[in-house]
Structure 1
Amino acid sequence: MKKIITISREYGSGGRLIGKLVAESLGYDFYDKEIIDMAAQESGLSPDFIKKTEQNLSSGFLYNLLLGSSYSGTANGASSINGTQMLPLADQVFNAERKVILDLAKKGNCVIVGRCADYILNTSDEIDSKSLLNVFIYGNLEEKLKRIEDLYKEPEQAAKKTIQQIDKRRANHYNTFTEATWGDRKNYDIMINSSTAGIEETARLISEIAKHQ
Protein backbone atom coordinates (compact mmCIF):
# COMPACT_ATOMS: atom_id res chain seq x y z
CA MET A 1 0.00 0.00 0.00
CA LYS A 2 1.41 3.35 -1.05
CA LYS A 3 1.12 5.89 1.76
CA ILE A 4 2.16 8.97 -0.23
CA ILE A 5 0.92 9.86 -3.71
CA THR A 6 2.17 12.83 -5.69
CA ILE A 7 0.24 14.18 -8.66
CA SER A 8 2.06 16.12 -11.36
CA ARG A 9 -0.14 17.28 -14.20
CA GLU A 10 -0.57 19.21 -17.40
CA TYR A 11 -2.88 22.19 -17.09
CA GLY A 12 -6.44 21.24 -18.03
CA SER A 13 -5.86 17.50 -17.60
CA GLY A 14 -8.02 17.37 -14.46
CA GLY A 15 -5.06 16.40 -12.28
CA ARG A 16 -6.22 18.30 -9.22
CA LEU A 17 -9.70 16.78 -9.33
CA ILE A 18 -8.23 13.33 -9.92
CA GLY A 19 -5.93 13.75 -6.93
CA LYS A 20 -8.86 14.80 -4.76
CA LEU A 21 -10.90 11.77 -5.85
CA VAL A 22 -7.95 9.47 -5.11
CA ALA A 23 -7.61 10.96 -1.63
CA GLU A 24 -11.32 10.51 -0.97
CA SER A 25 -11.23 6.91 -2.22
CA LEU A 26 -8.29 5.98 0.01
CA GLY A 27 -9.31 8.08 2.99
CA TYR A 28 -6.12 10.15 2.64
CA ASP A 29 -5.48 13.82 3.33
CA PHE A 30 -5.36 16.01 0.22
CA TYR A 31 -2.93 18.91 -0.22
CA ASP A 32 -2.74 21.40 -3.03
CA LYS A 33 -3.34 25.08 -2.35
CA GLU A 34 -3.31 24.29 1.38
CA ILE A 35 0.48 24.08 1.06
CA ILE A 36 0.54 27.84 0.36
CA ASP A 37 -0.82 28.71 3.82
CA MET A 38 1.52 26.21 5.49
CA ALA A 39 4.52 27.61 3.61
CA ALA A 40 3.48 31.12 4.61
CA GLN A 41 3.61 30.13 8.28
CA GLU A 42 6.97 28.46 7.71
CA SER A 43 8.60 31.36 5.87
CA GLY A 44 6.88 34.43 7.29
CA LEU A 45 5.90 35.45 3.74
CA SER A 46 2.27 36.23 3.01
CA PRO A 47 0.05 33.56 1.39
CA ASP A 48 -0.84 36.03 -1.37
CA PHE A 49 2.84 36.66 -2.12
CA ILE A 50 3.61 32.93 -2.25
CA LYS A 51 0.65 32.32 -4.55
CA LYS A 52 1.88 35.02 -6.94
CA THR A 53 5.49 33.86 -6.71
CA GLU A 54 4.89 30.14 -7.37
CA GLN A 55 6.25 29.23 -10.81
CA ASN A 56 6.67 32.89 -11.77
CA LEU A 57 10.21 33.31 -10.41
CA SER A 58 12.13 30.38 -11.79
CA SER A 59 15.73 31.56 -11.41
CA GLY A 60 17.02 29.33 -8.62
CA PHE A 61 20.02 30.50 -6.60
CA LEU A 62 22.26 27.52 -7.38
CA TYR A 63 21.28 27.68 -11.05
CA ASN A 64 22.33 31.33 -11.24
CA LEU A 65 25.57 30.65 -9.41
CA LEU A 66 26.44 28.16 -12.13
CA LEU A 67 25.76 30.85 -14.71
CA GLY A 68 27.87 33.32 -12.77
CA SER A 69 24.98 35.66 -11.95
CA SER A 70 25.48 38.19 -9.19
CA TYR A 71 23.03 38.44 -6.30
CA SER A 72 23.94 41.88 -5.03
CA GLY A 73 21.30 44.20 -3.66
CA THR A 74 17.83 43.00 -4.67
CA ALA A 75 18.73 41.54 -8.05
CA ASN A 76 16.46 38.67 -9.13
CA GLY A 77 14.43 39.10 -5.97
CA ALA A 78 17.38 38.58 -3.61
CA SER A 79 17.66 40.60 -0.43
CA SER A 80 20.31 41.35 2.14
CA ILE A 81 20.46 42.40 5.78
CA ASN A 82 23.51 44.26 7.12
CA GLY A 83 25.41 43.23 4.00
CA THR A 84 24.67 39.51 4.49
CA GLN A 85 23.21 38.00 1.35
CA MET A 86 19.93 36.12 1.71
CA LEU A 87 18.36 33.66 -0.69
CA PRO A 88 16.27 35.11 -3.53
CA LEU A 89 12.56 35.19 -2.72
CA ALA A 90 11.81 32.43 -5.24
CA ASP A 91 14.21 30.14 -3.39
CA GLN A 92 12.74 31.10 -0.02
CA VAL A 93 9.29 30.09 -1.29
CA PHE A 94 10.60 26.82 -2.71
CA ASN A 95 12.47 25.93 0.49
CA ALA A 96 9.42 26.68 2.63
CA GLU A 97 7.19 24.51 0.44
CA ARG A 98 9.84 21.78 0.40
CA LYS A 99 9.85 21.63 4.21
CA VAL A 100 6.05 21.55 4.32
CA ILE A 101 5.92 18.73 1.75
CA LEU A 102 8.49 16.67 3.68
CA ASP A 103 6.60 17.17 6.96
CA LEU A 104 3.31 16.11 5.36
CA ALA A 105 4.91 13.05 3.76
CA LYS A 106 6.40 11.93 7.07
CA LYS A 107 2.87 11.72 8.46
CA GLY A 108 1.86 9.54 5.49
CA ASN A 109 -1.58 8.78 4.03
CA CYS A 110 -1.69 11.83 1.79
CA VAL A 111 -2.02 13.00 -1.81
CA ILE A 112 0.12 16.01 -2.76
CA VAL A 113 -0.42 17.96 -5.97
CA GLY A 114 2.40 19.70 -7.84
CA ARG A 115 5.22 21.81 -6.36
CA CYS A 116 7.98 19.37 -7.36
CA ALA A 117 6.75 17.00 -4.65
CA ASP A 118 7.73 13.90 -6.64
CA TYR A 119 11.36 15.03 -6.88
CA ILE A 120 11.53 16.40 -3.33
CA LEU A 121 10.31 13.13 -1.82
CA ASN A 122 12.11 10.82 -4.23
CA THR A 123 15.48 12.38 -3.38
CA SER A 124 14.97 12.68 0.37
CA ASP A 125 16.69 10.32 2.80
CA GLU A 126 13.80 10.93 5.20
CA ILE A 127 11.18 9.24 3.00
CA ASP A 128 10.97 5.53 2.23
CA SER A 129 10.68 5.32 -1.55
CA LYS A 130 8.63 2.12 -1.19
CA SER A 131 5.81 4.17 0.35
CA LEU A 132 5.78 6.66 -2.53
CA LEU A 133 3.77 6.64 -5.78
CA ASN A 134 4.59 9.41 -8.28
CA VAL A 135 1.96 10.05 -10.95
CA PHE A 136 1.98 12.32 -14.01
CA ILE A 137 -1.36 13.10 -15.65
CA TYR A 138 -1.63 14.46 -19.17
CA GLY A 139 -4.45 14.80 -21.66
CA ASN A 140 -5.44 15.38 -25.26
CA LEU A 141 -5.49 19.05 -26.24
CA GLU A 142 -9.14 18.93 -27.32
CA GLU A 143 -10.24 17.56 -23.95
CA LYS A 144 -8.11 20.06 -22.02
CA LEU A 145 -9.49 22.95 -24.05
CA LYS A 146 -13.07 21.83 -23.42
CA ARG A 147 -12.45 21.50 -19.69
CA ILE A 148 -10.95 24.98 -19.43
CA GLU A 149 -13.68 26.50 -21.59
CA ASP A 150 -16.36 24.89 -19.40
CA LEU A 151 -14.73 25.75 -16.07
CA TYR A 152 -13.44 29.25 -16.76
CA LYS A 153 -15.56 30.30 -19.74
CA GLU A 154 -12.47 31.05 -21.82
CA PRO A 155 -12.79 31.03 -25.62
CA GLU A 156 -10.74 28.38 -27.43
CA GLN A 157 -7.84 30.57 -28.51
CA ALA A 158 -7.46 32.10 -25.06
CA ALA A 159 -7.67 28.66 -23.44
CA LYS A 160 -4.98 27.29 -25.77
CA LYS A 161 -2.67 30.18 -24.87
CA THR A 162 -3.33 29.66 -21.16
CA ILE A 163 -2.43 25.96 -21.43
CA GLN A 164 0.83 26.77 -23.18
CA GLN A 165 1.80 29.50 -20.73
CA ILE A 166 1.02 27.57 -17.54
CA ASP A 167 2.65 24.35 -18.70
CA LYS A 168 5.73 26.33 -19.73
CA ARG A 169 5.91 27.97 -16.29
CA ARG A 170 5.50 24.60 -14.58
CA ALA A 171 8.26 23.10 -16.70
CA ASN A 172 10.62 26.04 -16.12
CA HIS A 173 10.01 25.94 -12.37
CA TYR A 174 10.53 22.18 -12.12
CA ASN A 175 13.58 22.12 -14.40
CA THR A 176 15.23 24.97 -12.45
CA PHE A 177 14.65 23.76 -8.90
CA THR A 178 15.32 20.06 -9.53
CA GLU A 179 17.91 18.03 -11.39
CA ALA A 180 15.21 16.45 -13.55
CA THR A 181 12.92 17.34 -16.45
CA TRP A 182 9.20 18.00 -16.00
CA GLY A 183 7.10 15.36 -17.73
CA ASP A 184 10.01 12.96 -18.32
CA ARG A 185 8.72 9.41 -17.82
CA LYS A 186 11.82 8.48 -15.78
CA ASN A 187 10.57 10.67 -12.92
CA TYR A 188 7.23 8.93 -12.44
CA ASP A 189 5.86 5.51 -11.56
CA ILE A 190 2.73 6.05 -13.67
CA MET A 191 1.83 8.35 -16.56
CA ILE A 192 -1.87 8.41 -17.46
CA ASN A 193 -3.78 10.14 -20.25
CA SER A 194 -6.93 11.29 -18.45
CA SER A 195 -8.63 11.83 -21.81
CA THR A 196 -8.56 8.09 -22.46
CA ALA A 197 -10.21 6.80 -19.29
CA GLY A 198 -11.93 9.93 -18.00
CA ILE A 199 -11.52 11.66 -14.65
CA GLU A 200 -13.32 9.16 -12.41
CA GLU A 201 -11.79 6.06 -14.01
CA THR A 202 -8.30 7.57 -13.92
CA ALA A 203 -8.73 8.24 -10.21
CA ARG A 204 -9.99 4.68 -9.67
CA LEU A 205 -7.00 3.20 -11.51
CA ILE A 206 -4.53 5.21 -9.42
CA SER A 207 -6.30 4.21 -6.22
CA GLU A 208 -6.20 0.53 -7.16
CA ILE A 209 -2.52 0.69 -8.01
CA ALA A 210 -1.78 2.43 -4.71
CA LYS A 211 -3.68 -0.26 -2.80
CA HIS A 212 -1.84 -3.18 -4.35
CA GLN A 213 1.73 -1.90 -4.42
Structure 2
Amino acid sequence: MRKHPVITIGRQCGSDGKAIGQKLAEELGIKCYDKELLSLAAKNSGFSEEVFQSYDEKPTNSLLYSLVMDPRSLSFTNSGYMDVPMDHKLFFSQFETIKQLAEEESCVIIGRCADYALSEYENHISVFITADDDDRIETLKELHHIDDGKAKDLMVRTDKKRSSYYKYYTEKKWGDAKNYDLCINRSAVGVEGAVKIILDFVHAKTAYIKGKNQE
Protein backbone atom coordinates (compact mmCIF):
# COMPACT_ATOMS: atom_id res chain seq x y z
CA MET A 1 0.00 0.00 0.00
CA ARG A 2 1.28 3.47 -0.91
CA LYS A 3 1.14 5.46 2.32
CA HIS A 4 2.23 8.86 1.08
CA PRO A 5 -0.32 11.23 -0.49
CA VAL A 6 0.05 12.49 -4.06
CA ILE A 7 -2.03 15.50 -5.04
CA THR A 8 -2.92 16.22 -8.67
CA ILE A 9 -4.30 19.60 -9.71
CA GLY A 10 -6.32 20.31 -12.83
CA ARG A 11 -6.94 24.00 -13.41
CA GLN A 12 -8.71 26.52 -15.57
CA CYS A 13 -6.45 29.07 -17.25
CA GLY A 14 -6.01 32.07 -14.97
CA SER A 15 -7.40 30.30 -11.91
CA ASP A 16 -4.05 30.39 -10.06
CA GLY A 17 -3.97 26.59 -10.03
CA LYS A 18 -0.20 26.53 -10.36
CA ALA A 19 0.27 29.07 -7.57
CA ILE A 20 -2.05 27.04 -5.35
CA GLY A 21 -0.13 23.85 -6.15
CA GLN A 22 3.22 25.48 -5.38
CA LYS A 23 1.97 26.93 -2.10
CA LEU A 24 0.42 23.59 -1.15
CA ALA A 25 3.72 21.81 -1.82
CA GLU A 26 5.54 24.34 0.36
CA GLU A 27 3.09 23.79 3.20
CA LEU A 28 3.51 20.02 2.96
CA GLY A 29 7.28 20.15 2.47
CA ILE A 30 7.13 18.26 -0.82
CA LYS A 31 7.92 18.99 -4.48
CA CYS A 32 5.56 20.49 -7.04
CA TYR A 33 5.88 19.26 -10.62
CA ASP A 34 4.62 21.30 -13.56
CA LYS A 35 7.00 21.90 -16.46
CA GLU A 36 9.57 19.97 -14.41
CA LEU A 37 7.62 16.85 -15.33
CA LEU A 38 8.62 17.34 -18.97
CA SER A 39 12.30 17.31 -18.04
CA LEU A 40 11.88 14.09 -16.08
CA ALA A 41 9.90 12.41 -18.85
CA ALA A 42 12.53 13.46 -21.39
CA LYS A 43 15.30 12.03 -19.24
CA ASN A 44 13.43 8.75 -18.73
CA SER A 45 12.37 8.31 -22.35
CA GLY A 46 15.33 9.52 -24.35
CA PHE A 47 13.26 12.09 -26.23
CA SER A 48 14.37 15.72 -26.06
CA GLU A 49 12.70 18.13 -23.66
CA GLU A 50 11.98 20.44 -26.61
CA VAL A 51 9.85 17.72 -28.21
CA PHE A 52 7.84 17.28 -25.01
CA GLN A 53 7.29 21.04 -24.79
CA SER A 54 6.03 21.21 -28.36
CA TYR A 55 3.35 18.60 -27.62
CA ASP A 56 2.62 19.67 -24.03
CA GLU A 57 -1.13 19.31 -23.25
CA LYS A 58 -1.98 19.51 -26.95
CA PRO A 59 -4.35 16.95 -28.50
CA THR A 60 -4.02 15.73 -32.08
CA ASN A 61 -6.57 14.51 -34.61
CA SER A 62 -5.85 10.77 -34.54
CA LEU A 63 -7.45 8.70 -31.77
CA LEU A 64 -5.92 5.57 -30.26
CA TYR A 65 -8.20 5.19 -27.26
CA SER A 66 -7.68 1.44 -27.13
CA LEU A 67 -3.98 1.95 -26.49
CA VAL A 68 -4.48 4.83 -24.09
CA MET A 69 -7.01 2.94 -22.01
CA ASP A 70 -4.54 0.10 -21.47
CA PRO A 71 -1.08 1.74 -21.53
CA ARG A 72 0.41 -1.03 -19.38
CA SER A 73 0.23 -3.31 -22.39
CA LEU A 74 2.93 -1.20 -24.06
CA SER A 75 6.64 -0.99 -23.47
CA PHE A 76 7.71 2.51 -22.45
CA THR A 77 10.93 2.38 -24.45
CA ASN A 78 11.48 4.00 -27.81
CA SER A 79 11.92 0.67 -29.55
CA GLY A 80 8.82 -0.77 -27.88
CA TYR A 81 6.26 1.33 -29.71
CA MET A 82 7.82 2.49 -32.95
CA ASP A 83 4.49 2.35 -34.80
CA VAL A 84 2.73 4.63 -32.32
CA PRO A 85 2.42 8.34 -33.32
CA MET A 86 4.83 10.73 -31.61
CA ASP A 87 2.14 12.42 -29.50
CA HIS A 88 1.18 9.06 -28.02
CA LYS A 89 4.78 8.09 -27.39
CA LEU A 90 5.24 11.29 -25.42
CA PHE A 91 1.99 10.83 -23.52
CA PHE A 92 2.90 7.27 -22.55
CA SER A 93 6.36 8.39 -21.41
CA GLN A 94 4.84 11.18 -19.35
CA PHE A 95 2.19 8.80 -18.00
CA GLU A 96 4.89 6.41 -16.82
CA THR A 97 6.92 9.22 -15.28
CA ILE A 98 3.88 10.35 -13.27
CA LYS A 99 3.34 6.82 -11.96
CA GLN A 100 7.01 6.47 -11.04
CA LEU A 101 6.93 9.74 -9.12
CA ALA A 102 3.88 8.58 -7.19
CA GLU A 103 5.66 5.36 -6.25
CA GLU A 104 8.75 7.20 -5.05
CA GLU A 105 7.53 10.30 -3.23
CA SER A 106 4.71 12.46 -1.98
CA CYS A 107 4.29 15.36 -4.39
CA VAL A 108 1.95 17.78 -6.16
CA ILE A 109 1.51 17.37 -9.92
CA ILE A 110 -0.06 20.08 -12.08
CA GLY A 111 -2.19 19.12 -15.09
CA ARG A 112 -1.18 16.62 -17.81
CA CYS A 113 -3.93 14.09 -17.00
CA ALA A 114 -2.05 13.14 -13.83
CA ASP A 115 -5.36 12.44 -12.06
CA TYR A 116 -6.12 9.82 -14.72
CA ALA A 117 -2.66 8.28 -14.50
CA LEU A 118 -3.07 7.88 -10.73
CA SER A 119 -6.75 6.96 -10.63
CA GLU A 120 -6.02 3.58 -9.03
CA TYR A 121 -3.72 4.97 -6.32
CA GLU A 122 -5.46 4.83 -2.96
CA ASN A 123 -3.64 7.84 -1.51
CA HIS A 124 -4.16 10.04 -4.56
CA ILE A 125 -6.11 13.28 -4.06
CA SER A 126 -7.44 14.86 -7.27
CA VAL A 127 -8.30 18.56 -7.25
CA PHE A 128 -9.74 20.91 -9.86
CA ILE A 129 -9.31 24.67 -9.51
CA THR A 130 -11.67 27.11 -11.17
CA ALA A 131 -12.34 30.85 -10.82
CA ASP A 132 -14.79 33.46 -12.07
CA ASP A 133 -14.06 34.65 -15.62
CA ASP A 134 -13.47 38.27 -14.59
CA ASP A 135 -10.92 37.19 -11.99
CA ARG A 136 -9.17 34.91 -14.45
CA ILE A 137 -8.91 37.68 -17.04
CA GLU A 138 -7.40 40.05 -14.46
CA THR A 139 -4.89 37.39 -13.42
CA LEU A 140 -3.82 36.81 -17.02
CA LYS A 141 -3.57 40.54 -17.71
CA GLU A 142 -1.17 40.98 -14.80
CA LEU A 143 0.80 37.83 -15.53
CA HIS A 144 1.33 38.42 -19.25
CA HIS A 145 1.00 42.24 -19.39
CA ILE A 146 -1.80 42.12 -21.95
CA ASP A 147 -5.16 43.84 -22.38
CA ASP A 148 -8.63 42.46 -21.64
CA GLY A 149 -9.24 41.18 -25.17
CA LYS A 150 -5.99 39.25 -25.41
CA ALA A 151 -6.41 37.90 -21.89
CA LYS A 152 -9.89 36.60 -22.66
CA ASP A 153 -8.70 35.05 -25.91
CA LEU A 154 -5.81 33.33 -24.11
CA MET A 155 -8.19 32.05 -21.42
CA VAL A 156 -10.65 30.59 -23.91
CA ARG A 157 -7.99 29.04 -26.16
CA THR A 158 -6.05 27.49 -23.29
CA ASP A 159 -9.14 26.03 -21.64
CA LYS A 160 -10.26 24.58 -24.96
CA LYS A 161 -6.85 23.00 -25.48
CA ARG A 162 -6.74 21.52 -21.99
CA SER A 163 -10.31 20.24 -22.26
CA SER A 164 -9.63 18.59 -25.62
CA TYR A 165 -6.38 17.05 -24.38
CA TYR A 166 -8.08 15.62 -21.29
CA LYS A 167 -11.00 14.17 -23.24
CA TYR A 168 -8.68 12.85 -25.95
CA TYR A 169 -6.62 10.77 -23.52
CA THR A 170 -9.14 9.90 -20.80
CA GLU A 171 -12.57 9.92 -22.52
CA LYS A 172 -13.76 12.01 -19.56
CA LYS A 173 -14.97 15.58 -19.30
CA TRP A 174 -12.34 18.03 -18.05
CA GLY A 175 -13.57 19.99 -15.04
CA ASP A 176 -16.55 17.71 -14.35
CA ALA A 177 -16.88 17.53 -10.55
CA LYS A 178 -17.52 13.78 -10.57
CA ASN A 179 -14.02 13.18 -11.96
CA TYR A 180 -12.27 14.78 -8.97
CA ASP A 181 -12.14 14.43 -5.20
CA LEU A 182 -12.36 18.15 -4.68
CA CYS A 183 -13.35 21.18 -6.82
CA ILE A 184 -12.59 24.70 -5.57
CA ASN A 185 -13.58 28.14 -6.86
CA ARG A 186 -10.53 30.27 -6.11
CA SER A 187 -12.61 33.44 -6.52
CA ALA A 188 -14.66 32.42 -3.47
CA VAL A 189 -11.78 31.67 -1.09
CA GLY A 190 -8.54 33.08 -2.54
CA VAL A 191 -5.24 31.26 -3.02
CA GLU A 192 -4.54 30.86 0.71
CA GLY A 193 -8.08 29.67 1.35
CA ALA A 194 -7.84 27.10 -1.44
CA VAL A 195 -4.57 25.79 -0.04
CA LYS A 196 -6.11 25.43 3.43
CA ILE A 197 -9.11 23.55 2.04
CA ILE A 198 -6.86 21.12 0.16
CA LEU A 199 -4.64 20.63 3.20
CA ASP A 200 -7.65 19.81 5.36
CA PHE A 201 -8.90 17.39 2.71
CA VAL A 202 -5.49 15.69 2.41
CA HIS A 203 -5.31 15.17 6.16
CA ALA A 204 -8.92 13.95 6.32
CA LYS A 205 -8.55 11.48 3.46
CA THR A 206 -5.20 10.20 4.74
CA ALA A 207 -6.69 9.59 8.19
CA TYR A 208 -9.78 7.94 6.71
CA ILE A 209 -7.74 5.55 4.56
CA LYS A 210 -5.48 4.71 7.48
CA GLY A 211 -8.46 3.94 9.69
CA LYS A 212 -10.19 1.90 7.00
CA ASN A 213 -7.10 -0.22 6.42
CA GLN A 214 -6.78 -0.93 10.13
CA GLU A 215 -10.31 -2.27 10.41
Q: What are structure 2's unaligned runs of at least 5 residues?
A: 68-78, 206-215
Residue 142 of structure 1 aligns to a residue whose secondary structure is helix
Alpha-carbon offset, residue 64 of structure 1: 9.4
Aligned to 2:161: 169
One-letter amino acid of the counterpart of residue 41, structure 1: K
Structure 1 segments (4+ residues) deviating >2 Å: 55-61
Distance 1:142 1:87, change over 3 A: same
Partners of 1:64 and 1:90 in 2: how far apart? 15
One-letter identity of the residue aligned with 1:160: K
3-state SS of the aligned residue for 2:118?
helix
CA-CA distance at 1:63 after TM superposition: 4.1
Task: Check conservation: 2:128, 2:175, Cα contact below 8 A.
Answer: yes
Aligned-residue RMSD, C-alpha:
2.0
In the aligned structure 2, how far is the partner of 1:4 from the partner of 1:55?
Answer: 20
- With normalisation by structure 1, the TM-score equals 0.84
Structure 1 residues 138 and 55, CA, compared in 2 at 3 Å: closer, same or farther? Answer: same
What residue ranges of structure 1 are gaps of 5+ in the alignment? 66-80
Whether the aligned pair in 1 keeps the contact of 2:38 and 2:49 (CA below 8 Å) is yes
1:201 to 180, 189, 193: 193
Q: Could you tell me which residue of structure 2 aligns to residue 121 of structure 1?
A: 118
Aligned to 2:39: 37
* Aligned residue type for 1:33: K
Tell me the amino acid that sits aligned with residue 113 of structure 2: C
Structure 2: which amino acid aligns with 1:176? Y
User: For 2:28 and 2:57, how far apart are their aligned partners in 1?
Assistant: 29
**d(CA) in 2 for partners of 1:102 and 1:63?**
19
Which residue of structure 1 lines up, in the alignment, with residue 76 of structure 2? none
Q: Alpha-carbon deviation of 1:39?
A: 1.0
TM-score, normalised via structure 2 length: 0.83
> Which residue number in structure 2 is paired with residue 77 of structure 1?
none
How do residues 75-114 of structure 1 correspond to structure 2 at under 5 angstroms? Answer: 86-114=83-111
Q: Deviations over 1:160-191 (max 9, x none)?
A: 01011011010111101113111111110100
Q: How far is 1:2 from its partner? A: 6.4
